[in-house]
Structure 1
């Protein structure tokens, strides 16, 4: 029973930390252009490799 008294607040604290981190990333615009990031990997930059 003593273990639960420690683990439950720790689990709730980590969950809250994850939720706050998600909202922070959302506010900073990390999820704005998901399609552009997926398409950039397909672009072949030949001029960068020629040097």
Structure 2
């Protein structure tokens, strides 16, 4: 039973170390993206094609 308490304490300690390392790296700007904003305007936008209306398709069929 003592080993469970030891492993629990060690896991909490490791989790806290990783948490503080993450906070430290965020504050230092490790995750700031400086590349994507400069090339975003070079990416093409997706072209959205409008769906045909049912009224237009039925009137075209009737006239033929």
TM surpasses 0.5: yes
Q: Is 1:12 matched up with 2:7?
A: no
Q: What CA deviation, in whole Å up to 9, does each residue of 1:6-46 have, x standing for no partner? A: 00000000000000000000000000116x27xxxxxxxxx
Q: CA deviation at 1:2?
A: 1.1
Q: For the aligned residues, what is the CA RMSD? A: 1.6
Uncovered stretches (5+) of structure 2, i.e. residues with no partner: 37-64
User: TM-score with structure 1 length normalisation?
Assistant: 0.64
Question: Partners in 1 of 2:5 and 2:19 — Cα distance?
Answer: 22
Task: Report how many aligned residue pairs link the two structures.
Answer: 36
Uncovered stretches (5+) of structure 1, i.e. residues with no partner: 38-51
Q: 4+ residue stretches of structure 1 with deviation over 4 A?
A: none
Compare CA radii of gyration and give the structure with the larger one.
2
